[in-house]
Amino acid sequence: MNGHSIPGRISRHRSSDTFLRQFEEVNRTMTNETPIALTIAGSDSGGGAGIQADLKAFSALGAYGCSVITALTAQNTQGVQGIFDVEPAFIRQQLDSVFSDLAIKAVKVGMLSQPDVITTVADALAHYRPAYLVVDPVMVATSGDVLLHQNAIETLRQSLIPKASLITPNLHEAAVLLDRPVPKNPDQMIDMIGPLLALGSRAILLKGGHLSAGNSDDKATDFYHDGSSLHRLESNWIKTVNTHGTGCTLSSAITALLARGYSMSEAIPEAKKYIAQAIAHADQLSIGEGSGPVHHFYNIW
């Protein structure tokens, strides 16, 4: 098993010259065809996660974002107060609308709470066959609220994950997918990689942020398996309560970069740098009374 460590230093200040260089680099990587990324997920009425976080991350990283909404949530920084599922037939209509008109290169799938919805999305993706499919198996909100119905888990395993270019579970989601306890240390995380790959995705990014919260070394450790080798990805642990939407934002950041032409091995570390900065600057925002959002536009505002 081969691996390497990617450092994740946090630079808290960015000069205007650096900002301009970043956007010049975006322009250089764009072809005559605008990079388009699609998010298929639920709406967060509080604006910090779900569709709203995805579109912010797409925009911040230079991709044009479009969306298919699978559920509406009554949600804020303190929790989820209600979920209203969109009918599968209308979800398919949204999918047909965007795919029939837009040259979508990369797709991110987030909250799919019902088996019929998962099947509908999986069937449409099998038909349209985008170049990249990133699946963030959203099951539990940052607040601890359960977002995925139990009877949908097996449908997710069987119908959607085998079509994925990458899945991005956190520790709790990985435990649910594998029906095993939440890992307590990096070795137990590594033990999950093989069984997760066996679900059929071409690559795995297992996020260890929840594990890192109590560690003394102040490092957040994720593991990325590209289908042939394992890579250890480390970044500085940032102490803040404002982490709402971190998982959505990371997976959508990866999707945006894939749409722009990055390879998977390039997109993942770059997306981790972006989310680390978004978390590091989260306390600059004052949003709500609970767990606030990360700062998607830290380098613009």
Q: What is the pLDDT of residues 238-261, one digit of tens each?
A: 889 999 999 999 999 999 999 999
End-to-end CA distance of the chain: 43
Strands across the sheet containing 204-206: 5-6, 230-236, 219-225, 204-206, 166-167, 132-135, 106-109, 36-44, 64-76, 79-85
Cβ atoms within 10 A of the Cβ of 100, count?
8
The predicted pLDDT at position 260 comes to: 98
Q: Which domains does the chain have, with CATH numbers?
A: 5-284 (3.40.1190.20)
For residue 241 the two structure tokens come to: 């309560």
For the chain, give the number of residues. Answer: 301
C-alpha–C-alpha distance, residues 73 and 81, integer Å:
7
pLDDT tens digits, 86-134: 999 999 999 999 999 999 999 999 989 899 999 999 999 999 999 999 9
How far is Cα 265 from Cα 167, in angstroms, rounded to an integer? 14
pLDDT band at 213 (very low <50, low <70, confident <90, very high): low
- Residue 43, SS3? strand
| Radius of gyration of the chain measured on its C-alpha atoms | 18
Predicted local distance difference test score (pLDDT) of residue 22: 54
Task: Output the six-digit token pair for 203.
Answer: 């690559």
Half-sphere exposure of 133 (CA within 13 A, CB side): 21
Contact 34, 64 (CB under 8 A): yes
**Above 60 in pLDDT, residue 19?**
no
Catalytic residues: 207, 243, 245-248
Given a contact cutoff of 8 angstroms between Cβ atoms, the answer to whether 45 and 76 are in contact is yes
Q: Could you tell me which residues come within 8 angstroms of residue 62 by beta carbon, excluding any fewer than 6 positions away? A: 23, 26, 29, 30, 35, 256, 260
Q: What are phi and psi of 245, to 5 degrees?
A: 90, 10
Return the pLDDT at 169.
Answer: 95
Q: Give the dihedral of Cα atoms 294, 212, 269, 265; nearest 10 deg.
A: -130
Q: Which pTM was predicted?
A: 0.87
Residue 7 has pLDDT above 70, yes or no: no
| pLDDT higher at 20 or 44 | 44
Rounded Cα gap, residues 268 and 214, in angstroms? 24
In degrees and rounded to multiples of 5, residue 223 shows phi and psi of -125, 130
Provide the b/e sequence for 5-15 (b: ≥16 CB within 10 Å). eeebeeeeeee
Choice among 75-89, 187-201, 203-217, 259-273 with the minimum mean pLDDT: 203-217
Least confident stretch, 147-151, 273-277, 286-290: 147-151
CA proximity to 52, closest of 224, 297, 288, 299: 297
